[in-house]
Amino acid sequence: MRKLFLFIVVLFISTINSLAQLVNNNTKEDESDLYASTKQVNQFIRRFNGEEDLYGKRLYPKDKKYRDVALRKKYLNGLFDLENTNIKAQKDEFIAYVNSTSKPQFFDFYGNNWFAEVSADFLYNGKEQNVVLNFKLEKETGGYKWSFTSAYAGFFEQEFKSAPLTDLKFIEPMSHEIDFMSLDKVFKFHNKQIEHYATKEYSPDYLTMFFREVKKGTLVYESVTDVKFHVFQVENWYFEMKYFNRKGDNSGWLISNLIKIPEKDKASLIKTINHETSN
């Protein structure tokens, strides 16, 4: 009986220890996910720059590990959406470039050459529509603020997809001598195609259209549906950041797109992202 009692006690203690170990392991895994997941944009920037240790503690210039090459490499490897196979081909080259000991590249939150893209749902004349809004950080008295830079919506663009003109395609160069009388035909017969009379450099100002419709009350905000960031600060590179809400280390704010691009071509890419067009 005594042996049976001792066996039960030993078994009980062993079970308790196993459960404790299991709980401890689960806690460590949870903590690992917590430390590895990049939950905030500011945290992404600190990790990108090597300004946070592996336990989430912020590092400052006086700290020995501040912007440490080895620490940055460890974090940079985890700042990509690893499920995106298109990124893998250039990931290592990008990491080696930004983490170079001779000319390291950093992400400046208050710097230029990056902006936020916000997709939001609106009601337009009673119908649900999506509008893409872009914002940049602007210096303000006592701090910074996000300011509108552009807007895009399919129903705005549709207004500027009129059929090309079949007869009069320009205002004659001598129209000024007859008080621009040809404008009569332009506004009477081509008012639906008026944009074809603009300069070759003309591009529709969708942001002004957006403001106009909001002020009129025909465009009513409902909610934000998606947020991403476009970053052009790294020389000869562009990357996009998105939030991934999933379990595991590879979650939170991550690099979702990566392109090696010469500095001279970045302006063109920005125009494409902003849906800037010309006739």
Structure token pair of residue 42: 């500011």
Question: Average pLDDT for residues 167-179, to the nearest whole number?
Answer: 80
- pLDDT per residue over 114-147, tens digit each? 999 999 999 998 899 999 999 999 999 889 999 9
Alpha helices in the chain (DSSP H): 2-36, 41-49, 69-77, 85-98, 154-158, 183-189, 206-216, 266-273
Higher-scoring residue by pLDDT: 85, 189: 85
Using the structure block, give the residue that is written with the tokens 């992400």: 107
- Percent of all residues in the chain with a pLDDT value above 90, rounded to a whole number: 62
> 240 near 255, Cβ under 8 Å?
yes
Q: Which has more pLDDT, 279 or 158?
A: 158
What ranges do the domains of the chain cover? Answer: 13-109+235-260, 114-234+261-273
* Dihedral, CA of residue 53, residue 57, residue 61 and residue 63, to nearest 10: -70
Radius of gyration of the chain (CA): 28
pTM of the model: 0.82
* Amino acid found at 30: D
Strands (E), 232-274: 237-244, 252-260
Residue linked to tokens 């210039």: 61
The CA-atom distances, in angstroms, between 130 and each of 10, 67, 224, 226, 271 are 65, 40, 9, 11, 20
- Reduce the secondary structure of 10-69 to three states and give it as a string: HHHHHHHHHHHHHHHHHHHHHHHHHHHCECCHHHHHHHHHCCECCCCCECCCCCCCCCCH
Question: 85-98 vs 69-77: helix axis angle to the nearest 10?
Answer: 170
Q: Is the pLDDT of residue 32 over 80?
A: no
Q: In degrees rounded to 5, what are phi and psi of residue 244?
A: -115, 115
Average pLDDT of the residues in 91-119? 97
Q: What is residue 54's predicted lDDT score, i.e. its pLDDT? A: 87
